[in-house]
């Protein structure tokens, strides 16, 4: 597949009172009136909040039309799993409720950080969200003894299916701790209590990789497709396919998008969010600095796009 890049959509920092730096990890909600984009932005203390922008697609161009002045979700209480920041993961519609899955961050002493999956719920069509608990929904256990993060959730015939980041340990490199994580799978019947069997969906390609992050899963008629971030020297967008959502074939060479020769995404690309809108398949993604340069967008070439 081939993606045509259209440049920045949300520059960083965004025009928000709490957004001092970064616009990262986009999540898209489509509706008849346009699109909502949830993303993470950092305040003056470096803690991430979840923000919302509203966008339109007119005459083939995607553009931001407004930002909500207040955060959708903010860091939790002192000592909580998310007291140092909350970052976007995915949004799921279940009946009249909306489930916002997020990653909660806290700082460590022997290692720089910890993060775990949290969930917030809206009963007013997404206008406001409340965290379902001060605790994460994917805490550490025997399957995931280190870290959990960045879930992508689909509901199929009443079964909630999650692809998420799982830490496999820490190593010491360049005099300090270095994280390692890949992508695993879990299931649920209510979106809150998850069964984790330890199935690995996307593993390290070789010893140079140490971080495989933020899966985005799309189910087409003939297969599942996953876009994700993979890092050795620097993040690149990876791609995989599956017939059942469990066994995946990495096909990074078919991702169809690469860093630019210069500019905002010339060093790295990561955190893709792929969605269909008005017959077009679009991608939002981050470039250099994990969102320090903002969020850009791309479109799948029309001769390769799936019917939406």
pLDDT bracket for residue 53 (50, 70, 90): very high
Q: What is the pLDDT of residues 250-305, one digit of tens each?
A: 999 999 999 999 999 999 999 999 999 999 999 999 999 999 999 999 999 976 55
| 158 assigned to some structural domain | yes
- Residue 59 — pLDDT band, cuts 50, 70, 90? confident
* Site of tokens 């979106």: 191
In a domain, 306, yes or no: no
**Rg, the chain, Cα only:** 18
pLDDT value at 307 more than 50: no
Tens of pLDDT, residues 136-186: 999 999 999 999 999 999 999 999 999 999 999 999 988 899 999 999 999
Residue 174: per-residue pLDDT? 85
For the chain, percent of residues with pLDDT exceeding 90: 94
This prediction has a pTM of 0.96
pLDDT, residue 50, reads: 98
* Number of domains comprising the chain: 1
Query: pLDDT digit string (tens) for 4-15?
Result: 999 999 999 999
**Is the confidence at residue 69, as pLDDT, over 70?**
yes
Contact 116, 149 (CB under 8 A): yes
Kindly tell me if the per-residue pLDDT of 23 is higher than 90: yes
Q: Which of 55-59, 168-172, 234-238 has the lowest mean pLDDT?
A: 55-59
pLDDT at 33: 81
By the 8 A CB rule, do 33 and 55 touch? no
Mean pLDDT value across residues 123-129? 96
Phi and psi at 56, nearest 5°, equal: -130, 155
Per-residue CA distances from 300 to 15, 163, 275 (Å) = 29, 23, 10
Q: Is residue 263 part of a domain?
A: yes
Q: Give the domain CATH number at 189.
A: 2.115.10.20
Nearest CA to 42 out of 25, 64, 23 is that of 23
Sequential DSSP letters for 21-54: EEEEEEEEEEETTEEEEEEEEE-TTS-EEEEEEE
pLDDT more than 70, % of the chain? 98
User: For residue 24, is it within any domain?
Assistant: yes
Residue 307 within a domain? no
Secondary structure of 208-256 in HEC code, one letter for each residue:
CCCEEEEEEEEECCCCEEEEEEEECCCEEEEEEEECCCCCEEECHHHCC
Domain enclosing residue 174, as ranges: 3-300
Q: pLDDT at position 89, please? A: 98
Residue 134 lies in a domain: yes
């Amino acid at each position: 597949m081939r993606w045509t890049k259209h440049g920045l959509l949300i520059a960083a920092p965004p025009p928000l009172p709490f957004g001092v730096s970064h616009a990262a990890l986009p999540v898209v909600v489509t509706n008849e009136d346009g699109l909502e984009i949830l993303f993470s932005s950092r305040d003056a203390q470096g803690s991430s909040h979840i923000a919302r922008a509203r966008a339109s697609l007119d005459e083939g161009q995607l553009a931001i039309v407004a930002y909500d002045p207040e955060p959708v979700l903010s860091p939790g209480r002192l000592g909580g799993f998310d007291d140092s920041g909350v970052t976007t993961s995915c949004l799921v519609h279940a009946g009249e409720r909306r489930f916002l899955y997020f990653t909660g961050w806290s700082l460590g002493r022997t290692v720089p950080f910890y993060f775990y999956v949290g969930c917030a719920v809206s009963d007013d069509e997404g206008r406001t969200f409340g965290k379902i608990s001060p605790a994460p929904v994917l805490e550490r256990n025997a399957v995931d003894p280190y870290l959990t993060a960045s879930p992508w959730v689909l509901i199929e015939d009443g079964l909630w299916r999650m692809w998420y980041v799982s830490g496999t340990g820490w190593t010491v490199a360049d005099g300090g701790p270095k994280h390692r994580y890949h992508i695993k799978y879990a299931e649920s019947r209510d979106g809150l209590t998850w069964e984790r069997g330890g199935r690995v969906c996307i593993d390290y390609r070789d010893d140079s990789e140490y971080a495989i992050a933020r899966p985005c899963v799309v189910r087409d008629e003939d297969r599942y497709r996953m876009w994700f971030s993979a890092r050795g020297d620097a993040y690149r967008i990876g791609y995989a396919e599956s017939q059942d959502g469990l066994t995946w074939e990495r096909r990074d060479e078919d991702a169809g998008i690469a860093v630019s020769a210069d500019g905002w995404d010339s060093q790295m690309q990561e955190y893709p969010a792929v969605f269909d809108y008005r017959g077009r398949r679009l991608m939002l993604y981050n470039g250099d600095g994990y969102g320090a340069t903002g969020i850009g967008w791309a479109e799948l070439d029309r001769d390769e796009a799936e019917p939406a």
